[in-house]
Structure 1
Amino acid sequence: MAPITVTKASGEKELFDENKLRRSLKSAGADQQTIDRIANAISDILYDGISTKKIYKEAFHKLRQHSNRSAGRYKLKEALLELGPTGYPFEKFVGELLKRLGYQTETGIVVEGNCVSHEIDVIAEKDNKHFMIECKFHNRKGHKCNVKVPLYIQSRFKDVERNWSSQPGHEDKQHQGWVVTNTRFTKDSLQYGNCIGLKLLSWDYPQDKGLKDLISKVNLHPITCLSTLSKKDKQRLLEQDIVFCQQLCEDEKVLNNMGLDNRKKNQVIKEAQDICNTNSNEVTK
């Protein structure tokens, strides 16, 4: 087959890579037979300039016919984009993610700097390290954090660090600023952030340790992964601080005030359980 160019959400073009599609399906938990079937189906619809959005939609549709669990996990990138319209659910998501990775965390904390006070998205501690974490949420695929973001965060962090360093018990602590985004960083922002010692965490950065990898590690998928809930219902849950599928699995009663009939509630709970179930084999319909 002649090389096919695909169009990304940013407008950039690149060659279609079937192996990339196969890796994403495997990461979602699809078995080899399902991966082969979907890859062949995508091959049949390819044309030069096809959008990655169209490829994703077709692959998601095929995958959902096979497995709620794999489809929900495959939808992770889009699900993170739906954690809006404000950035607060994403901040809560990041705080809980780090907590499950062994950090002590607080969200939405006002911290005194050396010059002024700052409202910090997430404060995290682990071992002898103290972190100031700023979350940059975007609801549009293709949007990247440019170099202005780490420049701004670094200036805030240095003001906070000066105050932290003067406090008792902080003499031997290591302080670091973080920037976490659900999308990606530009090349300049990565270069600057790494140069000054900021920790940068995005959808796929650092390699093999990005958000998508950490989420899979702790099995913390957002409710926006669920196909059985409407966007309106997801938004209502987010407004009640119900951000994770795991919360639905732990307490089904959170759906009682949603106006859903028993059949619908059972469908939602079943899908959430399928996505959260890491101990079972592939869950098929």
Structure 2
Amino acid sequence: MDVSNLQVIKASGEKVQFSIDRVAESLKRSGANNKLINSTLESLKKELYDGITTKEIYTRAFSLLKKGNNTSASKYKLKTAIYELGPTGFPFEKFIAALLNHSGYKTETGKIYQGKCVTHEIDVEAKSDTKLILIECKFHNAGKNSDVKIPLYIDSRIRDIKNFRKNNNHKLELEEAWVVTNTRFTADAIQYGKCSNLKLLSWDYPKGQGLKDRIDRLGLYPITVSTLLSEREKNFLLSRDIVLCQDLINDKFYLDQLEVHNPRKKRILKEMEELCKN
């Protein structure tokens, strides 16, 4: 089937030109070998039609990958796995804190900071011996991006905190403020972030340094990518601050608390180890 002229519908409702190359690239990022990528693409082409949603394409590609390689399927579902950290957004904050922990920072979530005018609850505080970073996390469902109002609002809060701190003695200087989202920023939001020295981090921004790139490069996948754990088991683990696959490897006794039998336990831990290899 010639798929070059197909229109697909994104989660936002926008119609865009279908790109087989983008699908191939996402399959490649999952670590699938060329044989599995080619067979998945050939099977997928037979089921495409004009007006198909990107969600349908993802669901079918995921199903095909899962038959061929569980670990690749887990990596392929990364974006969906981050959505599964919702809907409250709090597990997403814990996930961002966990990423920074593995980069050498000490983190706390829900920290209260005094501003010149009012107090502020900050989603994630990250500290090193010489550096303080304050991070606000904006969790959205599929199809909703973070517009300029978000960095505008957060910038005003950071300024209030800085105005208070400059008149008081603090060991650590507030060097950076971040805004992190699981979706994308609009062009205006990115422009404001650059102008105001706010560091923006989204699914694919900055280019080559977005969430998906960092997670793939470091192998720091959220527990929700697992194709072997049930939803109940994932929620149990998240409630006990097991946010990363690496956390479960370190605290595997939680699988005993879940009464996971040994053969399945071995398969789950093998999946976790394969995901963390990066």
- Conserved in 2, the CA contact under 8 Å of 1:161 and 1:175? no
Match of residue 166 from structure 2 = 165
Q: CA deviation at 1:127?
A: 7.3
Seen in structure 2, the aligned counterparts of structure 1 residues 170 and 261 have a Cα distance that, compared at 3 Å, is: closer
TM-score (ref. length: structure 1):
0.90
Tell me how far apart the structure 1 counterparts of residues 197 and 129 of structure 2 sit (CA, whole Å). 19
1:51-66 pair list within 5 angstroms: 51-66=53-68
Q: CA deviation at 1:141?
A: 1.0
Tell me how far apart the structure 1 counterparts of residues 33 and 58 of structure 2 sit (CA, whole Å). 18
Tell me how far apart the structure 2 counterparts of residues 216 and 167 of structure 1 sit (CA, whole Å). 41
- 1:225 is matched by which residue type in structure 2? V
Tell me how far apart the structure 2 counterparts of residues 174 and 238 of structure 1 sit (CA, whole Å). 30
Match of residue 214 from structure 1 = 214
Tell me how far apart the structure 2 counterparts of residues 262 and 191 of structure 1 sit (CA, whole Å). 52
Moved more, 176-185 or 100-109: 100-109
Q: CA deviation at 1:24?
A: 0.9
1:158-237 pair list within 5 angstroms: 158-168=159-169, 173=173, 175-237=175-237
- 1:51 is matched by which residue type in structure 2? T
Match of residue 37 from structure 1 = 39
Gaps of 5+ in 2: none
Q: CA deviation at 1:174?
A: 5.7
Q: CA deviation at 1:129?
A: 4.1
- Conserved in 2, the CA contact under 8 Å of 1:68 and 1:274? no
Match of residue 72 from structure 1 = 74
> In the alignment, does 2:121 pair up with 1:119?
yes
Tell me how far apart the structure 1 counterparts of residues 7 and 136 of structure 2 sit (CA, whole Å). 36
- Conserved in 2, the CA contact under 8 Å of 1:245 and 1:276? yes
- 2:25 is matched by which residue type in structure 1? R
Seen in structure 2, the aligned counterparts of structure 1 residues 230 and 78 have a Cα distance that, compared at 3 Å, is: same
Moved more, 117-126 or 257-266: 257-266
Query: What's the % identity of the aligned pairs?
Result: 47
Give the match's secondary structure for 1:200.
Answer: strand
- Conserved in 1, the CA contact under 8 Å of 2:107 and 2:126? yes
Match of residue 17 from structure 2 = 15
Between 1 and 2, higher relative CO (CA 8 Å, sep ≥ 6) is seen in 1
Match of residue 105 from structure 2 = 103
Count of aligned residue pairs for this structure pair? 276
Q: CA deviation at 1:277?
A: 2.7
Tell me how far apart the structure 1 counterparts of residues 248 and 44 of structure 2 sit (CA, whole Å). 33
TM-score (ref. length: structure 2):
0.92
Give the match's secondary structure for 1:6.
Answer: strand
Tell me how far apart the structure 1 counterparts of residues 106 and 164 of structure 2 sit (CA, whole Å). 20
Moved more, 183-192 or 214-223: 183-192
Tell me how far apart the structure 2 counterparts of residues 120 and 168 of structure 1 sit (CA, whole Å). 20
Gaps of 5+ in 1: 279-285
- 1:154 is matched by which residue type in structure 2? D
- Conserved in 2, the CA contact under 8 Å of 1:75 and 1:225? yes
Which digits, 9 at most, give the CA deviation of each residue in 1:227-268, with x for residues without a partner? 112212211211111111111212210112224333333332
- Conserved in 2, the CA contact under 8 Å of 1:9 and 1:51? yes
Q: CA deviation at 1:159?
A: 0.8
Which digits, 9 at most, give the CA deviation of each residue in 1:36-91, with x for residues without a partner? 11111111111111111111111111111121211111110000000023222111
